[in-house]
């Protein structure tokens, strides 16, 4: 017994505890029910009566010593603020989180890719435009409501300068800069003085398309848009053209695709019509060709324009356009 007490006492004096793991081990080895000190108490029963007092004191001292050591180490580890983990320098680093592309960029790239396969090239124009390229060159009469202050952000230093309300303005630039055949698409950001809601925003993106050559017909337009719709929304997609009006196309149409959710049967997304409107289009008005110096007796063309956010919302089933502008990581991570 005497030797055993001396032995444990020596161990306690030499012990070195630097991590919380070692502290736990210490507690188990010395202070737990099956620990070395409890075993001494068990042994104690066999000590002759006349020696009980002596050994009893010794064992109690040892227990105090161990408890004190445990409490001191625990406090100092806590103070150091680290339940020191052993650092493994050979461990490989955790992978870097990389960002994801924004859904608007994803759809824009997809649209550009699809039209590239049909020979369309990309051209961009300025966001700050003049009246000619946004309105007059596109055959908007002077008193047309789209020029109204409600829709257009004018730049006050120069009333002729404004933020473009559509990417059709780049059509006009293309027709001024190049001679037919012209086969281009114009992606970009547009601005409208509109209240922000779940369905509309004052800043959004469009892709405009223009094809001018000899003998371009409405059938070419239809076939181009059908190909595009099937590529973007799947080969079962059907399209529907409804007569419409735009100042720069004649005839004009709006194009619907069969509902991406119900496939045309009718659901609450398509409001039980089976179709979803996605773009405006038509044959370029001869007046537009002429004002860009293109002979409308030789050349004809078609044009179309669509909102990228709207297509992104349909494709990814996004219920509120504002998600596309808030840059909330929780939203964006879903596109990685």
Looking at 7-15, 75-83, 303-311, 319-327, which segment touches ligand DAH (CB under 6 A)? Answer: 303-311
Are the C-beta atoms of 218 and 255 separated by less than 8 Å?
Answer: no
Q: Is 115 in the site for ligand DAH (CB under 6 A)?
A: no
Are the C-beta atoms of 48 and 111 separated by less than 8 Å?
Answer: no
Nearer CB in complex with ligand DAH: 233/304: 304
| Least CB distance to ligand DAH at residue 279 (A) | 7
CA dihedral 141, 142, 144, 147 (to 10 degrees): 130
**In the stretch 156-195, what mask flags binding to ligand DAH with x, by CB under 6 A?**
----------x-x---------------------------
Q: Is 125 in the site for ligand DAH (CB under 6 A)?
A: no
Q: Which position among 304, 308, 312, 313 is part of the footprint of ligand DAH (CB under 6 A)?
A: 304
Q: What pairing do the DSSP bridges indicate for beta strands 121-122 and 182-191? A: parallel
Q: CA 3 from chain center: how many Å?
A: 71
How many residues sit close enough to ligand DAH to count as binding (CB under 6 A)?
Answer: 11
SS3 162: strand
Nearer CB in complex with ligand DAH: 121/334: 121
Nearer CB in complex with ligand DAH: 55/304: 304
Q: Which position among 152, 249, 258, 300 is part of the footprint of ligand DAH (CB under 6 A)?
A: 249
Are the C-beta atoms of 289 and 250 separated by less than 8 Å?
Answer: no
Q: How far apart are CA 314 and CA 234, in angstroms?
A: 13
Q: Is 301 in the site for ligand DAH (CB under 6 A)?
A: no
Interacting residues with ligand DAH between 209 and 248 (CB under 6 A): 246
Q: Is 137 in the site for ligand DAH (CB under 6 A)?
A: no
Q: Is 309 in the site for ligand DAH (CB under 6 A)?
A: no
Are the C-beta atoms of 208 and 303 separated by less than 8 Å?
Answer: yes
Q: Which position among 282, 292, 314, 318 is part of the footprint of ligand DAH (CB under 6 A)?
A: 282
Q: How far apart are CA 122 and CA 116, in angstroms?
A: 8
* Whole-Å CA distances, 243 to 134, 264, 283, 314: 23, 20, 12, 23
Residues that bind ligand DAH (CB under 6 A): 166, 168, 208, 246, 249, 280-282, 303-305
């Amino acid at each position: 017994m005497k030797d055993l007490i001396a032995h444990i006492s020596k161990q306690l004096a030499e012990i070195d505890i630097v991590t919380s793991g070692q502290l736990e081990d210490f507690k188990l080895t010395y202070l737990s029910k099956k620990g070395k000190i409890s075993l001494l108490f068990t042994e104690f029963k066999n000590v002759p009566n006349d020696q009980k007092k002596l050994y009893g004191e010794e064992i109690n001292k040892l227990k105090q010593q161990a408890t004190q050591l445990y409490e001191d180490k625990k406090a100092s580890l806590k103070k150091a603020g680290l339940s020191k983990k052993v650092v493994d320098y050979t461990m490989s680093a955790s992978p870097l989180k990389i960002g994801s592309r924004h859904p608007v960029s994803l759809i824009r790239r997809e649209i550009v890719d699809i039209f590239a396969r049909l020979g369309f090239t990309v051209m961009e124009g300025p966001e700050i435009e003049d009246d000619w390229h946004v309105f007059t060159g596109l055959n908007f009469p002077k008193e047309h409501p789209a020029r109204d202050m409600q829709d257009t952000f004018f730049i006050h230093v120069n009333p002729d300068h404004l933020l473009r309300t559509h990417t059709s303005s780049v059509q006009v630039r293309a027709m001024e800069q190049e001679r037919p055949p012209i086969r281009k698409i114009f992606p970009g950001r547009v601005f409208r003085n509109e209240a922000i809601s779940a369905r509309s925003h004052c800043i959004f993106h469009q892709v405009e398309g223009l094809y001018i050559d000899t003998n371009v017909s409405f059938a070419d337009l239809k076939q181009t848009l059908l190909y595009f719709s099937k590529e973007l929304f799947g080969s079962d997609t059907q399209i529907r053209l409804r007569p419409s009006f735009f100042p720069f196309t004649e005839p004009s149409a709006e194009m619907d695709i069969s509902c991406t959710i119900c496939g045309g049967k009718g659901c609450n997304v398509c409001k039980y019509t089976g179709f979803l409107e996605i773009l405006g289009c038509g044959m370029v008005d001869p007046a537009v060709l002429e004002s860009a110096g293109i002979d409308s007796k030789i050349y004809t063309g078609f044009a179309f324009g669509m909102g990228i956010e709207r297509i992104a919302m349909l494709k990814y089933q996004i219920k509120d356009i504002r998600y596309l502008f808030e840059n909330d990581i929780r939203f964006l991570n879903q596109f990685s």
